[in-house]
Amino acid sequence: MKTASSFTKKANDVIDPHTNKTMVNVMWPPIKQAKKILLPIRLPEGTLDSMQFWVYDESTALTVINLKKSQYRIVDPKDLLKFGERDIRTLPHFQIILENELFEVVGKAFTRMVATIIERKLWVGAFDQSNVHLVDKL
């Protein structure tokens, strides 16, 4: 397998304080291979119709979406990409419950992801295989 060759570029205005010489940046050209993105497994439309609440469980570091008869445990905010449009639009109607204010940042990451999915229309089924590269811009 051939590796990319590097090249150097002098940073004219940046001087190393230890050696008092001009710094040199080592750079590599961008790769020519397309990035492969795995599409999430699709959950059935209307999965969250019986949603009661969602809560961040700090003991397991998971977000739990509680339904009447079952629950979904979500590890990463990007796992929300598994839901369809109707389900994604259901999530903002419920505020995520945090038992400890220290975990507010984690809760905001999930609500921010919901807003991003709605704004960019990234829910499952919103685009076909030709537009898969749009997911990479998250």
Strand partners, 67: 51
User: pTM score > 0.85 for this model?
Assistant: no
* Mean pLDDT within 120-127: 82
Looking at residue 132, its pLDDT comes to 47
In a domain? residue 58: yes
Per the structure, the complete domain to which residue 73 belongs is given by 51-137
In a domain? residue 13: no
Looking at residue 37, its pLDDT comes to 63
User: Tens of pLDDT along 31-88?
Assistant: 777 666 666 678 888 999 999 999 999 999 999 999 999 999 999 999 998 899 999 9
Q: Residue 75 carries which DSSP code?
A: S
In a domain? residue 107: yes
Looking at residue 127, its pLDDT comes to 66
Looking at residue 128, its pLDDT comes to 54
Q: Do 52 and 66 form a contact (C-beta atoms < 8 A)?
A: yes
Closest CA to 121 of 89, 79, 90, 77: 89
Domain count, the chain: 1
Q: How many CA atoms lie within 13 A of 47 on its CB side?
A: 18
Tokens of 30: 């961008």
In a domain? residue 43: no
In a domain? residue 34: no
Q: What is the mean pLDDT of the chain?
A: 84
In a domain? residue 7: no
In a domain? residue 9: no
Percentage of residues in the chain with pLDDT exceeding 90?
47
